[in-house]
Structure 1
Amino acid sequence: MAFIYNILIKLADGALRAISPFNSKIKSGVIGRQNTFQTLKTTLQKTDKTLWFHCASLGEYEQGLPVFTKLRTHYHKHKIVLSFFSPSGYEIRKNSPIADVVIYLPIDTKKNAKTFLDLVNPELTIFVKYDIWPNFLNEVKKRKLRAILISAAFRKNQSYFKFYGRNLRNALFAFEHIFTQNESSKTLLESIQYNSVSVSGDTRFDRVTSQLELDNNLDFIETFKDYKLCVVAGSTWPEGEKLLTNYINSRPLDYVKFIIAPHNIKAPQINQLQQNLKVNSVLFSEKENKNLKAAQVFIVNTIGILTKIYSYADIAYVGGALGTTGLHNTLEPAVFGIPIIIGNNHEKFPEAQAMINAKGLFSIEKQQEFNTILDKLIEDSDFREQSGQNNSSFIKKNKGAVIQILDYLRI
């Protein structure tokens, strides 16, 4: 199986290189990986003590950040290497203050794994959630280096638990301990005789809770909201934007404001979204010298401020689960104690079902369902406030994973 895996990895590498001239995202990853070893050579010295944090993409970085931040403070004399596989993580967090060097993880070949660990030689390695790379982890195990996996979530249909998944399964044993999000993941690990496992929960609960301690003020959003009820639609995709624009156009409610923050902020999509609206709207990029109070819709065509914007919401819609893309982060708005609407394709996101059960989150599939629940949340203040409180309570109940992880590491 390992032989087949290594062949497939090399084929995948070749395919990415071949496709890269035609895809800017893939091209960024290919070029970035070509520079990884040189970056490490110029940044690290053989005498440096290091920690290695690996995240697949931006979501896993945000998930691991509460732990990374604590370790950054504790190991202040160490150099921290932060690696990403996806350009969407690297490009946004390449200047992360928690790391001394941010890189793309090289393709998972035996040669790359040996070269990487020769250069980094981490005292502690932390992987977040998944992105299990057998050659890297087997080399970590061979060198008897410390490694843990945090916020892990497994499903029984994954390769680890199939007869053909021995290579991936063996890679899990490179971790001296795995912290899972839920009991079912722990049970699955124990079914393959991996027993050094704890159910700590999801570190994202700690991450979003810390947002309450920050300054979330945005003067232009406060001016736009103008003391009115505010619906914030975050990380939206076209299928969700269609529901939103249809709702807004059919209900010119002067006492409700809408903020839409699309996942794709390229000009053609933003322009199309604005054209589809029949009410007064304003773009973030054009907000200066605009009468924000007169607009009913504010379109956020920038990145990095959505979490703060959620603090102004009375109701939230979170995109991703209406189409084929994964559900975006529902915990970010939930921490502010507001009810949330999502699409119906959320089976891979256990927190979504838990929040539905807690009666703070509402799943819809079609326009009429969307209209019905949004109408109720707008018109019934008691229902809206109770639903929001249910989400706030859910966050408080589930935080604490970071403490368990740090306690294991004796920090």
Structure 2
Amino acid sequence: MLFFYRILTILLWIPIRVLSLSIPAAREFFRVRKEDFVRIRSLPDPDPARKVIWFHASSVGELDQCRALATVFRKRKPETLILQSVFSPSVRESQLDAFPADVTFHLPLDFPWAYGFLFDKFRPRTLVCMAWDRWPNLLLSAKKRGIRTLLACAVITPPAGFLGKKFYRCVFALFDRIYPSHLSAEKNFRELLGQKAEIRTLGDCRIDTVIRKVESNPGSFRRPNGYPFPKVLLLASTYEECEGLFLPLLSEPSLNDFAFWIFPHKTDPARIRSILTEVSRRTENVRLYTSGPFEAANARVVVFDVLGILAFAYQAADFAYVGGGLHHRVHNVLEPAYFGLPILTGPKIDHSPEAKELNSQGGLFIVKNEKDVLETLSLPSERLEKIASSNRAFLESGRGAAERIYEELEK
């Protein structure tokens, strides 16, 4: 399977480069990687005696996992040279600039020849991928050079069909060790790779990042003074599909005491205007977060057109909806769980072990229609108290995952 994968990637090289000439996003993809290559090539070679570790994150969520680990290394072994790569364009340059690593860059496309200059220049002792990320040619290049390969905070989605399962088995077998985020994921990995595989559940170190973030600014976000709505439904990381489900509920009489706070996944001007237009068709009681002092706000619907405050805003809400699960995959559910909120999301949670665990424990609810939403928002207070305790306990049980993974990496 891996042989055919390598051949396929070679054959795709020319078509991909040709297509990139006419697709702006593809041109940008290759531009940033070319700039990274030039910058890295100009860096001095590290001291051969210095320990080098390479963390790779696919996107923003996995970068949070890497941040927790990198923070531990900075504290315990500050002399370690840390490399941090990312793949998704959703990772902003400011996030990379603020990351506690010595060198950051965007991962090249997974061609057999793509990684040689990185391995030869930095000579890392360990390559750590996060969650579900498994680039076969990257792992093969590392194995060829005797570099230890690990998958931390590991999750696995069910492979499709016989060939999918066979491919999964070949690729995940390239990792020397796998550290699942939860016991349910460990079970799935063992079913795939067998009982002799080096697999041990150590937790999700993104929990450490979430806890550190929210505990660093306790009480930093509050409801407006004299706010006329006793309950707040916070809609996080929303897409059009999410608003299509929730905005009609503005006319639902049983929710008259609910305010709707909307945090769209993207906050570009066109997206914000679109949301305001849709809300205004149903109510005039709407405002932008930045339209004036929030402390004096009294609008029922608030559209948040800024980034960086969502994690803290959960503490002022009563219920949280987390977007992505209606059409693609659910976003981060750990932050609302930390504050003990009942969590609503769509059915696409298979990639997220924390969402599945919270769902199995009764603190996360799958909603597909208005009826599902109304049932969840009308839960009795006794049930809500149990959910708050359960969701907080789930976060506490995961505290310290980064330290546990660090100890394993140092063995």
How far off its partner does 1:173 sit? 4.5
Aligned to 2:330: 327
Aligned to 1:381: 381
Aligned partners of 1:188, 1:365: CA distance in 2, in Å?
27
Does structure 2 conserve the Cα–Cα contact (< 8 Å) formed by 1:202 and 1:401?
A: yes
Aligned to 2:305: 301
Aligned to 1:58: 60
Aligned partners of 2:294, 2:201: CA distance in 1, in Å?
51
Does structure 2 conserve the Cα–Cα contact (< 8 Å) formed by 1:339 and 1:361?
A: yes
**In structure 2, what residue type is equivalent to 1:182?**
H
Structure 1 residues 225 and 232, CA gap change in structure 2 (3 angstroms): farther
Aligned to 2:286: 281
Equivalent positions of 1:222-371 (< 5 A) are: 222-223=224-225, 228-251=230-253, 255-277=257-279, 278-284=283-289, 286-288=290-292, 292-323=296-327, 325-371=328-374
Structure 1 residues 399 and 369, CA gap change in structure 2 (3 angstroms): same
Does structure 1 conserve the Cα–Cα contact (< 8 Å) formed by 2:326 and 2:368?
A: yes
Structure 2 residues without counterparts, runs of 5 or longer: none
SS in 2 for 1:112: coil
Structure 1 residues 181 and 158, CA gap change in structure 2 (3 angstroms): farther
**In structure 2, what residue type is equivalent to 1:52?**
W
Structure 1 residues 13 and 33, CA gap change in structure 2 (3 angstroms): farther
For residue 208 of structure 2, the aligned residue among 206, 209, 215 is: 206
Does structure 2 conserve the Cα–Cα contact (< 8 Å) formed by 1:52 and 1:82?
A: yes
Aligned partners of 2:373, 2:333: CA distance in 1, in Å?
17
Structure 1 residues 59 and 24, CA gap change in structure 2 (3 angstroms): farther
Structure 1 residues 163 and 240, CA gap change in structure 2 (3 angstroms): closer
Aligned partners of 2:25, 2:85: CA distance in 1, in Å?
17
Aligned to 1:134: 136
How far off its partner does 1:336 sit? 0.7
Aligned partners of 1:226, 1:51: CA distance in 2, in Å?
52
Aligned to 2:193: 192
Structure 1 residues 36 and 94, CA gap change in structure 2 (3 angstroms): same
Structure 1 residues 236 and 34, CA gap change in structure 2 (3 angstroms): same
The superposition leaves residues 68-102 of structure 1 with CA deviations (integer Å, 9 ceiling, x where unpaired) of: 21012233223322101111125452213311222
Q: CA RMSD in A?
A: 2.9
Structure 1 residues 162 and 263, CA gap change in structure 2 (3 angstroms): closer
What is the percent sequence identity of the aligned residues? Answer: 27
Does structure 2 conserve the Cα–Cα contact (< 8 Å) formed by 1:338 and 1:385?
A: no
The superposition leaves residues 77-133 of structure 1 with CA deviations (integer Å, 9 ceiling, x where unpaired) of: 233221011111254522133112221111222322222211221133211112212
Moved more, 107-116 or 184-193: 184-193
Aligned partners of 1:150, 1:69: CA distance in 2, in Å?
15
Moved more, 291-300 or 108-117: 291-300
Structure 1 residues 340 and 15, CA gap change in structure 2 (3 angstroms): farther
**In structure 2, what residue type is equivalent to 1:297?**
V
Structure 1 residues 21 and 270, CA gap change in structure 2 (3 angstroms): farther
SS in 1 for 2:354: helix
Does structure 1 conserve the Cα–Cα contact (< 8 Å) formed by 2:36 and 2:106?
A: yes
Structure 1 residues without counterparts, runs of 5 or longer: none
**In structure 2, what residue type is equivalent to 1:282?**
R
Structure 1 residues 252 and 372, CA gap change in structure 2 (3 angstroms): closer
Aligned partners of 1:71, 1:311: CA distance in 2, in Å?
30
SS in 1 for 2:115: helix
Aligned length: 404
**In structure 1, what residue type is equivalent to 2:395?**
I
List structure 1 runs of 4+ shifted beyond 6 angstroms. none
Aligned to 2:121: 119
Moved more, 95-104 or 72-81: 72-81
Aligned partners of 1:225, 1:82: CA distance in 2, in Å?
44
Aligned partners of 1:173, 1:346: CA distance in 2, in Å?
25
Structure 1 residues 210 and 219, CA gap change in structure 2 (3 angstroms): closer
Aligned partners of 1:227, 1:219: CA distance in 2, in Å?
17
SS in 2 for 1:198: coil
Does structure 1 conserve the Cα–Cα contact (< 8 Å) formed by 2:185 and 2:353?
A: no
Aligned partners of 2:401, 2:181: CA distance in 1, in Å?
9
**TM-score (normalised: structure 1):** 0.87
Aligned to 2:28: 28
How far off its partner does 1:222 sit? 4.3
Aligned partners of 1:404, 1:158: CA distance in 2, in Å?
32
Does structure 1 conserve the Cα–Cα contact (< 8 Å) formed by 2:222 and 2:313?
A: no
Structure 1 residues 23 and 60, CA gap change in structure 2 (3 angstroms): farther
The superposition leaves residues 306-336 of structure 1 with CA deviations (integer Å, 9 ceiling, x where unpaired) of: 111112211111111112x111111111001
Aligned partners of 2:143, 2:331: CA distance in 1, in Å?
34
